[in-house]
Amino acid sequence: MQELFHNLIVTFGSQANAILFLKQLGMMVIGGVLIFLAIKKQMEPTLLLPMGFGAILMNIPNHSGSAGISEVLETLYNAGIANELFPLLLFIGIGAMIDFGPILSNPKLMIFGAAAQFGIFMTLSLASIFFDIKEAASIAIIGAADGPTSIVVATQLAPQLLGPITVAAYSYMALVPVVQPPVIKLFTTQKERKIKMPYKPESVSKLTRILFPILVTIITGLIAPGAAALIGFLMFGNLIRECGVLDSLSDTAQKVLANLITLFLGITVAFTMKADAFLSLGTILILALGLFAFVFDTMGGVLIAKLFNLFLPEGKKINPMIGAAGISAFPMSARIVHKMGQDEDKQNFLLMHAVGANVSGQIASVIAGGLILNFFI
């Protein structure tokens, strides 16, 4: 091994260059792992595959000479990520995809979306021990379980950490089926998991569906101006969907726009995944803190539901698992909660309640991101 390393030093001219080469090889392996997870395990393939391939591209030794990879990715990075254009445009597509009907018919579910952002602020406190406050805030936003929000916040507060934060955010979003169930079981009893919640859908008028995105944008923008861009683009997408007169635009936003931006976003984020910056103790710490954020998000949602149950009569209690669905990982979190409810009692149908909480988590996570930007810019 020593001889091999000595040969590397001779080949590359210095110890620093030899170490960089080894790190670049390591990053190409990591890129390969991301591609494997995307294809074989189907973990968020829309982002992990381009990021994995981008990581390989960015870490080809001596690539910046004739290939010009760095220059192209840097151009895309400056055009779409440094100015937050790509994630905000992606939010139009996401907004057009979301049906807010479940929370409009039962708005109280939105409380769980709010509670499930607890992990963000807990992680902010823990991360501040190891990082400066802006870096800690960027790492904490992994707990929003929302890729574009994480990218927007990290770009503004700690662009040097964008690579590991994005990898962590998308990886944990895909790992929600692994992370959430043990945490839910830890904080609930079997009796609580068996609580039935009958679903009585209330009809929602078209006017409510149209006014909702407009009023949410105004309210959020007034209280947290830092969130205006994030919530505004999300709600713009939703308004295009709900207005009923822009079906072709809604369709374009949901499919073509979302896919196009996702394509660029994944490979462009990889511009920050250079070996010397990515492979560090800080990255491992960020991955650990990201997991911590997801755990505490789940805990926050479950505990708020249990708190409400202290004051609710029998027959009207809330299944605490619904709180866990308040995390923004849509629709995976809702499906997990529904499945866990079915595992306890086949007659328990929690899906629509969980979807309502899950959708509200989307709004709450964007608000949380905006508040973080408000505090630190």
Partner 1 sequence: MVKLQSNYNAELINIINEELSLTSTQTNTETQTEQAKININVSGKRFLSSFKYMGLGMLGIFLIISIIIIMVTVLNKIKKK
Q: Residues interacting with partner 1, by CB under 8 A?
A: 103-105, 107-108, 110-111, 113-114, 117-118, 120-122, 124-126, 128-130, 132-133, 136-137, 202, 204-205, 207-208, 211-212, 215-216, 219-220, 223-224, 360, 363-364, 367-368, 371-372, 375
Q: Which is nearer to partner 1, 135 or 192 (CB)?
A: 135
Q: Which is nearer to partner 1, 207 or 281 (CB)?
A: 207
Residue 241 CB, nearest approach to partner 1 (Å): 17
Environment class of 282 (CB within 10 Å of its CB; exposed 0-12, middle 13-18, buried 19+): middle
Amino acid present at 168: A
d(CA 227, CA 245): 27
* CA distances from residue 8 to 30, 62, 63, 133 in whole angstroms, order as listed: 21, 15, 18, 39
Please name the residues in contact with 357: beta carbons below 8 A apart, sequence gap of 6 or more.
Answer: 109, 112, 113, 116, 301, 322, 323, 325, 326, 334
d(CA 280, CA 138): 17
d(CA 217, CA 82): 24
What's the gap between Cα 150 and its chain centre? 6
Residue 3 CB, nearest approach to partner 1 (Å): 34
Q: Which is nearer to partner 1, 58 or 136 (CB)?
A: 136
Q: Which is nearer to partner 1, 132 or 343 (CB)?
A: 132
Q: Which is nearer to partner 1, 157 or 258 (CB)?
A: 157
The candidate with the shortest Cα–Cα distance to 282, out of 195, 178, 162, is 162
C-beta separation of 305 from 319 below 8 A: yes
d(CA 26, CA 296): 31
* CA distances from residue 217 to 81, 225, 300, 360 in whole angstroms, order as listed: 23, 10, 25, 14
Residue 206 CB, nearest approach to partner 1 (Å): 9
Q: Which is nearer to partner 1, 337 or 366 (CB)?
A: 366
Give exposure, 233-272, as e/b (b: 16+ Cβ within 10 Å). Answer: bbbbbbbbbbeeeeeebbebbbeebbeebbebbbbbbbbb
Six-digit token pair at 251?
């369709």
Residue 85 CB, nearest approach to partner 1 (Å): 25
Q: Which is nearer to partner 1, 161 or 364 (CB)?
A: 364
Q: Which is nearer to partner 1, 226 or 320 (CB)?
A: 226
Cis bond leading into 102, ω under 30°? no
237 half-sphere exposure, CB direction, 13 A CA radius = 27
Whose structure tokens read 């009207």? 316
The candidate with the shortest Cα–Cα distance to 114, out of 346, 374, 325, 372, is 325
Q: Which is nearer to partner 1, 24 or 360 (CB)?
A: 360
Q: Which is nearer to partner 1, 261 or 367 (CB)?
A: 367
Residue 288 CB, nearest approach to partner 1 (Å): 16
